[in-house]
A and B are shown apart, each in its own frame.
Chain A
Amino acid sequence: MNPIAQAIAWLNDPLNWTVPGGVLDRLSEHLIISAAAVVLGCLVAWPIGLWIGHSRRGGGIVVVLSNVTLAIPVIAMLTILPLTPLGFGRWSVIVALTVFAVPPLLANAYTGVREADPEARDAARGMGLSGRQVLFRIEMPLALPYLAAGLRTAAVQVVATAALASFVNGGGLGQIISAGFGLGIAVGGGQILAGGLLVGLLAMLVEVVLVGLERVVTPRPLRPSRGRRDDARSAVGEA
């Protein structure tokens, strides 16, 4: 039987979904871990990013941070953190994923504030708004599309990397793939493929949902003509 037929057969077996440690269990673990990491990332990255963008100081740290985290293997974070005072368990997995969620959130928050229309900022200043009022009433609303774009990038990335938590037995949909490899390719090939399919589909789904969210929070005049602004933003996120 070829791997695709095996994978379909595996996915078609209701037992594989409902047993303890089955797809449904793993899916909820995956979502909980990912959501916690993204929320934690937002709590850390947004205030810092907004402040750096507002004060126009320390922009270099954004670039350095995203370059450095690009080079750190996820597996290293996942294996090192449990051996620190964080200890074994779900929190060290969440913190490990947060590390990789922060750079896109930070970069987009920073860029969003920096790119806010300088005339709007000057007008607000002229009307006597204080620095904090400018940040909260002018720059932050104008940065909203960027914040949403950062959230999308970070969330998709976290959902994707959360699959690697299975290397340290940290739960999530990756466990299905790892268990498949444990059975060997001949027997577990279908399960490996099925697990890959589930993880891939979840990442796509998150992407699609958040693209929708991004559109909703972007005021109509700021909406890009299909795709153009998107490129500029991602380039900033990865540079």
Chain B
Amino acid sequence: MSVSANPIVETYSRLAREYDENANFLSCWCRASERALSSIHLRDDYKLVVDMGCGTGRAVHALAAGAPAGTEFIAIDPAENMCHIAAQKTSGQAVQVRQGSFEKIPLETASVDYMYSILAFHWVTNLDAAVAEIARVLKPDAEMDLFFIGRDNGREFIQKTSAIFLKHMGPALLLDSARLRKQLTQEAALQLFSRQFDPQRLSVDESFTTYYDTLEGHWSWWVRVEGHFVKIPAEKKAQCDIQVRDALQSLAGPQGIPYTIHELHVKLRRAKARH
């Protein structure tokens, strides 16, 4: 699937301004992103750092601001309008923004010291091609942190809303929509990356974190999944939205409406020195 033909990429590009609004960034996804970002520590000897799926550039902007002198950053995203915003945000910093995807990374072979990606890898269209491309651009001793959602993400919402989406989308469209995301188990992720990287340098952590919010709070991040629903006819979409909102509201408890993020964290570290 080409970048331009991908409904997820097209929707992210179309809604780039909305994505960068505060409501989205106060949501559970922002909290998960911030948690991932805070776990990233740049070594002094990283010359080239790459952010894959940089979105509007919030993470690369923050990391570049505190990076050791001489560290260069390249931020990559498939959505053209996301790239424009990221370029504006990082203007004046040692950051280049390029349009590209995990399956086609616009970088030279063996050029990257450190790659990170926050909540983007699950959108790849071809898992094996994406991991092979990552392996191509990393230097032999490069390091990497990829954070992305796992197989059991958002269980509460999925159980409440799947039947509604089935009614409005029909079986074929519902399954096409599911195919747009690659949500792996921890074991499947380890197997996938082990095909390209030394398993001794690789690890995959997983976490389940439940975030509580109001209906409007959760609805503010719906922009992130709109790409799944572009084929629902407009007259059905409005009705579908009403029923989905009612279903989500029915999950409300004393702490709010729960949403559990199942996160996978693929880490690649340098080989330990042998003595």
Do A and B originate from a single complex?
no
List chain B positions with a Cβ less than 8 A from chain A. Answer: none
